[in-house]
Structure 1
Amino acid sequence: MREKVKGLQPPILRFPGGTMVKLYHWMDGVGAKEERKRQSNRIWGGVIDHAFGTNEFIQYCREIGAEPFIIVNMATGTAEEAANWVEYCNGTDDTYYANLRRSHGFEEPHNVKYWGLGNEEAAVPDIGFLHDPHEYIKASWEFAKQMKLADRSIKLVMVGEKPEWNKAILDELHPICDYLSLHYYARSENEDYASVFNHAVAMENIIVDTKKLLDRYPARVESFDRWYRFPPRQRKIQIALDEWGIWQNQSSDDYVADMEAVFNWKEALLVASMLNVMQRQSHAVTMATFAQLVNILAPIFTNENGSFCQTIYHPLQLYREHSGNWKLSCEAESMMLLDGDGQPTASACLDVSATYHDEKGEVVVAVVNRHPEQSVSAKVSFVGTEGLEICEAIELNCPSWETVNGFDIADQVTRMAKTDARYDSDGGYGFPPHSITLLKHRYSIDKLADTTN
């Protein structure tokens, strides 16, 4: 399973999770494993044995090449507890919690840069008392002050929610808010085929509207009381889409069983569409973590007998391997998908994003043909340059949009890499039904500088 995780090359991992952080006290997960207490998971059921705690998380991140991102408990925890966690992870002085880390076998600091202040605190059904934005603001100032005084360099992620909540907390917290957290889960069951992709449209609209709000706040904080004894944020507030994925509709009170979802190829096309959204909006969304990694709404499924990659694993892997590190502006014209009644939906057949990879010198155009039955041909043109030719086309597909993977069957997702792919005489390219295609082109960044966004 670890090799499958490495195959995704996740750039960042979030710990200890979402809602369960409201029960989590970090001291329960450090020290000798045989001495760690077992705790009832009163939210999701079962038992938390704390065998995988802070140091195990950091080691795992280092092994797979991911940056650690830690969420602190604002529901049943305290600001002092959170600051002690920062000291334990990042402290270098001869102090109690830094020395405690050393006594646990970690002489050098973990240097955890990203820290989240709570999780979905506006959710009234969840444990906690910060459902009112003004209560969250008051608590966040105290958490931020104590944590920043433990390490001035850390970056803070504040809980986002509906627009009214976001404006209220940013009006007060923007000087110390490096990232605003957004969560978005697409629902994929009990809807007709085409309407599922409207969730990607909705996600993009939320990101665009949130970016407009963030733009109201100054890029740099010019006036910040020196007696805070730590600096304000140093750049524009960014969006952290730190929970995103697909949450199939639940039908029972067995929450865990409902979330052990098996995803079909339609849902993989939706994941690719959501990746396209993030690439188009990457000037605003600069951090994202798929929720979750294994078993629960996840790209990897495992049990005591083995593991398999779900269909959604493959677009996550493909984009991570081949997408560039610069966003390119792109526009697409396409017919719209039709719903079950034959009416146009909000989603186009072809969904497109484009990036530039400066190390490889490649322009990468990502195209998702979401039509379940028809190939779609499209003319591809580039502003400011002519004669850009495909050097490689990589295509993901399945026998049908309903295809799933499982323990007892071979992986049904095919990946074809074609070095002989070319545009036709009119600059057109044909995209097979229910396919994900990356078109790669060689080009130099100095020429591209005038056409990038």
Structure 2
Amino acid sequence: MMKALNCTIAFLLVMVLGVQAQNKITLHTDEADTKINREIYGHFAEHLGRCIYDGLYVGEGSEIPNIRGFRKDIVDALKDMKVPVLRWPGGCFGDTYHWKDGIGDKSKRPSIVNVHWGGVTEDNSFGTHEFLDFCQVIGAEPYINLNVGSGTVQEAAEWVEYITSNNQSPMTDLRKQNGREEPWDVKYFGIGNENWGCGGNMTPEYYANLFRRFSTYCYGAQYRIAGGANVDDYHWTDVLMRETKNVPHLINGLSLHYYTMPGGWPPSRSATDFGKQDWHDTMYEVLRMDELITKHSNIMDTYDPNKRVGLIVDEWGTWFKSMEGTNPGFLHQQNTLRDALVAGVGLNILNNHSERVKMANIAQMVNVLQAVILTKGDQMLLTPTYHVFKMYSVHQDAQLVPMHLASEKYEMNGRTLDALNASASVKDGVLSMTLCNLNPDKDIEVEYEVTGDEYTMASGQLLTSKNITDYNDFDKSTEVVTKPFKVSKPKNGKVKFTVPSKSVLLVQLQGEQKL
């Protein structure tokens, strides 16, 4: 009787308290047959605030060291982070942008008023040639958004021709007159942006027909991306997939936009002054990305069971209230440890959906929203999000490793989340596992069990900090950075370690032959 009672008590303790053994991840390396496209680690640079001007581009006459006008410190940092693809010129700005204003002699280019973002006047000194040159300098694939909202089919078609054509034609001649003899190899073209909102306030039925028309005349576009849904507008996805099903040559990708915005629209919460409830709310919101991708993918599967059309999450990241003392239209915010967790969780989710998700672009690259780099005059700093992207670059073009994750819960005020979030990949014999501990107060011991391959060595990198609100600033640029993390050698296909609270962790396993 006493033995049975002790067993019952032990069982109840397991159920109520949760034990270390429940935090277990089983990996199946023998089932790794889906590639994680490197483009999932893409970025977004819109003509917004200080992203382009005073961010990426300072001009050749600047005293700040530059390469043909591009800040050298930023170029070096982006190359080190391995940016695979860069989206430009918008965003909302893209559907007011007329590309011919941004080519030719810079002194003769007409200016443009940025009606969406702060009402500032830009001189168009950063245009098509500058963007494509910048992509070449940092080693990224260009992704260009065409103007559907206020542009014409002819304008879009001529832009594609100007960029990609090697035939004798007026646009090819114009490109050569502007100093570029050979065409650029640009693969990705977006046909409009947020056409349900700032891109024209269209219905999905109207936009679907407009997309078919624009896409028909963009002959040189290899990969055409249709403007997709906002958050959970599943009707938009259904209409676009239905109306393009019989013209598969016109569509290769469908976009999705989702921002982690605790408290909803308009953004009202501070990027730096927050407590544990805000932290929990933010983790809840970023985890919602998994549900959204799953449901949009299920609709796409109905019309495209072979997953030929990629889901392109070309705007994602945190969106908080703009920093005090800055132009609200510039969307400038700091980047804390909380943003690093959002980046880690978001990338894990995107990795795990790589069968359908073929590209993603965090918003935005410099000085705007969840930026990877911030600048102040001639100073530059790398944000916690930058360090997560650099850490996670091991997943680019690797094979996704299927996993089963059993996690304890993280609860606050009646809302419960999994405390752990993870993804894994294998490449060149190295198994890379990225793991986030969402709980800001508790270290969690986790056990990994690997089936299919044998590994004998382990190493790790960790990103965390003392406080949830910690961030890098120009006088403390190494407050939140990655550091080495010691992991014991695997035994019998298993490895155990403790994941510190509020952290992002990379653990890599490999065999003796890799040393």
Given the two structures, how large is their TM-score scaled by the length of structure 1? 0.87
Candidates 126, 136, 155, aligned match of 1:52: 126
The one-character-per-residue Cα deviations of 1:237-278 (angstroms, maximum 9, x if unpaired) are 111111111111469995335x21002102211210111101
Alignment size in residue pairs: 417
2:231 matched to 1:158?
no
Shift of 1:335: 1.2
Does residue 245 of structure 2 align to residue 168 of structure 1? Answer: no
The gaps in structure 2 that reach 5 residues or longer are: 1-73, 263-268
Q: Distance in 2 between matches of 1:95 and 1:63?
A: 28
Identity %: 28
> Of the candidates 326, 329, 349, which is equivalent to residue 277 of structure 1?
349
1:12-66 residue CA offsets vs partner (Å, 9 max, x unmatched): 0111110011110000001011110111111112012111100111110011110
Report the 3-state secondary structure (helix = DSSP H, G, I; strand = E; otherwise coil) of the residue aligned with 1:216.
helix
- Corresponding residue number in structure 2 for 1:66: 140
Separation in structure 2 between the aligned mates of residue 109 and residue 304 of structure 1, nearest angstrom: 35
- Contact persistence 2:419–2:437 (CA under 8 A): yes
Q: CA deviation at 1:135?
A: 1.4
1:181-196 mapped onto 2 (5 Å cutoff): 181-188=255-262, 189=269, 191-196=277-282
> For 1:241 and 1:279, how far apart are their aligned partners in 2?
12
Structure 1 runs not aligned, ≥5 long: 221-234, 445-453
On the 8 A contact 2:455/2:490 being kept in 1, the answer is: no
Shift of 1:373: 2.0
**Per-residue deviation, 1:413:** 1.9
What is the deviation of 1:314? 1.0
- Residue-by-residue CA offset, 1:122-178 (whole Å, 9 max, x unaligned): 11xx252x5111211221121111112xx2x52110011111011112111232221
Mapping of residues 47-446 of structure 1, within 5 Å: 47-123=121-197, 126=198, 128=200, 131-148=202-219, 151=220, 154-161=222-229, 162-174=233-245, 175=248, 176-188=250-262, 189=269, 191-218=277-304, 236-249=308-321, 254-257=327-330, 259-297=331-369, 298-321=371-394, 325-339=398-412, 341=413, 343-345=414-416, 347-357=417-427, 360-385=428-453, 388-418=455-485, 421-423=488-490, 427-442=495-510
User: Following the alignment from structure 1 to structure 2, what is the Cα–Cα distance between the partners of residues 335 and 365?
Assistant: 18
> Partners in 2 of 1:423 and 1:195 — Cα distance?
36
Match for residue 232 of structure 1? none
Distance 1:16 1:100, change over 3 A: same
3-state SS of paired residue (2:404): coil
User: In the alignment, residue 124 of structure 2 is paired with which amino acid?
Assistant: H
Go from structure 1 to structure 2 and tell me whether the alpha carbon gap of 1:116 and 1:322 turns closer, same or farther (over 3 Å shift).
closer
Partner of 2:94: 21
The farther-off stretch of 207-216 and 424-433 is 424-433
Distance 1:319 1:208 in 2: 22
| Residue in structure 2 matched with residue 231 of structure 1 by the alignment | none
Deviates more, 1:272-281 or 1:186-195: 186-195
1:424, distance to aligned residue in structure 2 (A): 7.5
One-letter amino acid of the structure 1 residue matched with residue 498 of structure 2: G
- Cα distance in 1 for partners of 2:305, 2:411 equals 42
Displacement of 1:414: 3.5
- 1:344 shift after superposition: 4.2
Contact 2:424 2:434 in 1 (8 A): yes
Asked whether the 8 Å contact 2:94–2:146 carries over to 1, the reply is yes
Kept in 2: contact 1:200–1:277 (CA 8 A)? no
The residue number in structure 2 matching 1:224 is none
Residue type at the aligned position of 1:399:
K
CA distance in 2, matches of 1:179, 1:63: 26
One-letter amino acid of the structure 1 residue matched with residue 225 of structure 2: V
In structure 2, distance between residues paired with 1:127 and 1:417: 45
Amino acid in structure 2 at the alignment position of 1:119: N
Instruction: With a CA cutoff of 8 Å and minimum separation of 6, indicate the structure with the bigger relative contact order.
Output: 2
Counterpart residue identity of residue 356, structure 2: A
Q: Distance in 2 between matches of 1:399 and 1:40?
A: 43
Q: Provide closer, same or farther for how the CA distance between residues 427 and 362 of structure 1 changes in structure 2, counting only shifts above 3 A.
A: closer
Instruction: Give the 3-state SS of the residue equivalent to 2:388 in structure 1.
Output: helix
Whichever residue aligns with residue 369 of structure 1, its letter is N
Structure 1 residue aligned with 2:25: none
- CA distance 1:119–1:420, change in 2 (3 Å): closer
1:193 alignment partner, SS class: helix
Deviation at 1:324, TM superposition (A): 5.8
Tell me the distance in 1 between the aligned counterparts of 2:253 and 2:99.
23
- Cα contact 1:243–1:289 (8 A) shared by 2: yes
Amino acid corresponding to residue 383 of structure 1 in structure 2: T
Contact 1:122/1:132 (<8 A) preserved: yes
Flag the 1:200–1:420 CA change in 2: closer, same or farther, 3 A: closer
* CA deviation after TM superposition for structure 1 residue 384, in Å: 3.3
Question: Could you tell me whether the CA contact under 8 Å between 1:83 and 1:147 is conserved in 2?
Answer: yes
Question: How far apart are 1:322 and its partner, in Å?
Answer: 5.6
What SS does the corresponding residue of 1:160 show, helix, strand or coil?
Answer: strand
1:393 match: secondary structure = strand
Deviation track 1:377-416 (CA, whole Å, cap 9, x = no partner) reads 011102334x534431111222222101111223112322
Structure 2 SS opposite 1:301: strand
Q: Is the 8 A contact 1:276 1:351 kept in 2?
A: yes
Deviation per residue, 1:207-226 (Å, 9 max, x gap): 11111111112467xxxxxx
RMSD: 2.2
One-letter amino acid of the structure 2 residue matched with residue 204 of structure 1: D
